[in-house]
A = this chain, B = another copy of it.
Amino acid sequence: MPRSQLPSSVTVREVGPRDGLQSERPVEPARRAALVDQLAAAGCRWIEAVSFVSPRAVPAMAGAAEVLGAITARDRIRVAALVPNLQGAESALAAGVDEITVTIAASATYNERNVRRSIPDTLAEIERICRLSAPAGVPVDAVVSCAFGSPYEGDIEPREVSELCDRLSGAGVAALTLADTTGMATPRVLDGVLSHTGVGVGLHLHETRGTGLLNAYAALQTGVTRFDTSVGGLGGSPFADGAAGNLSTESLVALLDDLGISTGIDLEALIEVTALVEELVGHGVPSPIALSGPRTRRTTPTVS
């Protein structure tokens, strides 16, 4: 096993406050800001904290500027905000975010359902967003949904994905993140897509088929060093049938800790944050590490 070739550090973008909470019952901005602060205290340094979307479309994301204003760890973290259009980007820039994330799908049907636009129209809007954010020095990361397959069209040709990536770079995006929106990635599929796009992309993995951690490991072996993850494994698009939670931050950090790969995140502190998340959303989180703890956790034998 080529463990010797694994990277010495990995960058984690925590997306729980955005992707994790967006499908939950709304949580008030002050409590969402407190979650961001807790994540920062656990060592998360890059957090997708909010989304500047219509509160009618996604009620749980209402009050983005308020959330950002209430974060006390603001100077210690890089704050990303998802925007669906130019108007959202204007609000995000006005609120002083460090990074803008936009989404576009490699699947035409999914793109239509998710942002109600064609892929070319979405590309044009992303180009406008990049032109707006460039003078402010705020980079745009394009998250490519369904990069490893679509529940509608099935397999997406790796060449199609890399051509979309090229067009996004041409439009001015500074970074690219490939999303496995409905859990269709496998080590084989990752291999195919990454051989076309290169391994400088980030990965945003979902657990629809329980393959998030497997795929992260396979991607690590291929050379990927940037991952989106969600505290507690919360998440899932409200617009995709069969989507499920994100790869949990604690699962990835537990694996990386064990492999000696640094992330700057304290696993035990992060697990404590999952308890806060459960309070916020009013139900348990799907992450098994949140329940069972890291492998170093001991049981005291009971007399039986």
> Which A residues are within 8 Å of any B CB, using their own CB?
1-3, 109, 113, 149, 151-152, 154, 182-184, 186-189, 191, 207-211, 213-214, 217-218, 221-222, 241-242, 244, 248, 251, 254-255, 258-260, 287-289, 292, 294-299, 301, 304
List residues of chain B with CB within 8 A of the CB of A254: 209
Secondary structure type dominating chain A contacts: loop
Work out how many copies of this chain go into the complex.
2
List residues of chain B with CB within 8 A of the CB of A259: 186-188
Report yes or no: A255 in contact with B214, Cβ–Cβ below 8 A: yes
Find the B residue at minimum CB distance from A208: B292
List residues of chain B with CB within 8 A of the CB of A187: 1, 3, 217, 255, 258-259
Report yes or no: A299 in contact with B151, Cβ–Cβ below 8 A: yes
List residues of chain B with CB within 8 A of the CB of A189: 258, 295
Q: Which of B211, B251, B258, B299 contacts A242 (CB 8 A)?
A: B299
List residues of chain B with CB within 8 A of the CB of A298: 151-152, 154
CA distance A166 to B176 in the complex (A): 51
List residues of chain B with CB within 8 A of the CB of A109: 301
Find the B residue at minimum CB distance from A241: B299
List residues of chain B with CB within 8 A of the CB of A183: 288, 292, 295
Report yes or no: B3 in contact with A191, Cβ–Cβ below 8 A: yes
Q: Which of B191, B208, B217, B295 contacts A214 (CB 8 A)?
A: B217
CA distance A207 to B211 in the complex (A): 12
CA distance A207 to B214 in the complex (A): 13
List residues of chain B with CB within 8 A of the CB of A217: 187, 214, 217-218
Find the B residue at minimum CB distance from A247: B210
